Amino acid sequence: MTAAELEPVVTQYTVCALPEGHMDYSLFSMTVDRVMGYEGVSGWAVRRMGRCLDRKGRWDHEPQPSSRTNGWIRQNRHDLEKALELAKVAAPLVTINGLSVEHVLNRGASR
């Protein structure tokens, strides 16, 4: 196979309400990851700090693969469009040590 025949595959997106390049970007970002199951691609997961976003937009601890029930998988695996939508809604709501995205953005504006 030649380099021209290779087809790149997107396996992860990063979503953050802070502008790319902001010094706190990585702290406030989340990923939308392509998830492989036992029988191939099983969907996309919205992940942040060991947690996954479920269908209702709630953060849930992500158990080890052997501990994930079918019900948990149904609630926390999405098609790409839904996963990106959930991440975009959740991104502005991220807080770290009581600091919101809005606070961090405003702090930078006052410098």
Tell which wins on pLDDT, 10 or 42: 10
- DSSP secondary structure letters along 79-101: -HHHHHHHHHHHGGG-EETTEEH
Among candidate residues 13, 18, 26, 29, the one with its CA nearest the CA of residue 83 = 13
Check residue 59 and report its DSSP letter.
E
- 43, 78 in Cβ contact below 8 A? yes
pLDDT at 41: 65
Encode pLDDT of 21-39 as tens digits: 999 999 999 999 999 877 6
- Quote the pTM value: 0.88
| pLDDT, tens digit (0-9, with 9 covering 90-100), for 41-92 | 679 999 999 999 999 999 999 999 889 898 999 999 999 999 999 999 999 9
Mean pLDDT score, 84-103: 96
Q: Which DSSP string do the residues of 14-48 spell out, in sequence order? A: EE-SSPTT-TTHHHH-EEEEEEEETTEEEEEEEEE
Residue 66 is predicted with a pLDDT of: 87
- The CA distance from 76 to 53, in Å, is 6
